[in-house]
Amino acid sequence: MSDDIKKQIRALLITHNAVLLAHNYMRDEVQEIADITGDSLALSIEASKTAADVIVFCGVHFMAESAAILSPDKKVLLPRADAGCPMADMVTPKELEELRSRHPGVPVVTYVNSSAEVKAHSDICCTSANALTVVRSLKEEELIFVPDRNLGRWIATFVPEKKFIFWEGFCPTHERMTQAAVAQKKAEHPDALFICHPESAPNVTALADYVCSTSGMYDYCRTSPAKKFIVGTEAGILYKLRLDSPDKEFILASPALFCPNMKLTSLEDILLSLQTLSPVVTVPEDIRLRAKGSLDRMLAIPRD
């Protein structure tokens, strides 16, 4: 049955001149059929470079918004309109402006895991991979970091000369990975390296051999001489890790590392989305332009 659905999806992708994107946390079968897999912003950037008329984004709402921001000439579909991000929902434009009013002149650095409206009310965006580079690029000694307190606190350890005002948002999935659970896995597998995402709590990152984004995990595990890894991020990443390094062993740090929103999208949802060319995600032009400005300022920073 699934093979038949995959064939129908591939045929409709050709019919509609569409490109299928899948985030690293998607179900295995969704990643398997995707044209491009990767981090949320990287996917949007790659899709903007294609000649596709339609982008089918298998991820959550803020990711599809990013694609709409960068590709206003393309139709962006989010197969599951109810796939949201709790962390992105933890900050609103009104709340952010209220914070800004209490700290006039302090720049706002916003993690891409945020809504288009929040990006539009920000000075510059960052990803988990380039957050440190972005922060170091700012001449100001004080900054507001939104919405992920854990990513912000991780970055702050590398720039003690700067003062951070943290928004108290967090990723519920990474927050559920406890220090005790990780310590138990490390005790069970003393020969394994522990890698984790900077969205993890500080007492968890303190246990890590390496802290990085999902794309960083792929690179690190592929090139490391180590043969065994305890992985501290959403379970969907295991699919490509094992595909890239079949000779290595990957152990999920905690059974709690399961994002229900990331797992909503099924092959059936993708098929229906292509059949109906819906649900469509759009961003009002005034918000799109301001949000794109925050993304463009980030993209203009030379890479380390």
Residue 304's pLDDT is: 57
Residue 2's pLDDT is: 85
Q: Selecting from 3.40.50.300, 3.40.50.80, 3.40.50.920, 3.40.50.10800, what CATH number does the domain 2-83+262-282 have?
A: 3.40.50.10800
Where along the chain do its domains lie? Answer: 2-83+262-282, 88-171+289-299, 177-252
Sign of CA dihedral 82, 255, 145, 42: negative
The CATH code of the domain at 88-171+289-299 is 3.40.50.10800
Residue 301's pLDDT is: 93
Backbone angles phi, psi at 36, to 5 degrees: -140, 135
Contacts of 128 (CB under 8 A, 6+ apart): 39, 111, 151, 197, 198, 199, 212, 213, 214
User: What are the pLDDT digits (tens) for 75-134?
Assistant: 999 999 999 999 999 999 999 999 999 999 999 999 999 999 999 999 999 999 999 999
Same fold across 2-83+262-282 and 88-171+289-299: yes
CA 139 – CA 132 distance, rounded (Å) = 13
The CATH code of the domain at 177-252 is 3.40.50.10800
Q: Would you give the end-to-end CA distance of the chain in angstroms? A: 47
Contacts of 19 (CB under 8 A, 6+ apart): 13, 35, 36, 47, 50, 52, 54, 55, 56
Residue 40's pLDDT is: 86
In this prediction, the residues of the chain whose per-residue pLDDT falls under 70 are 304
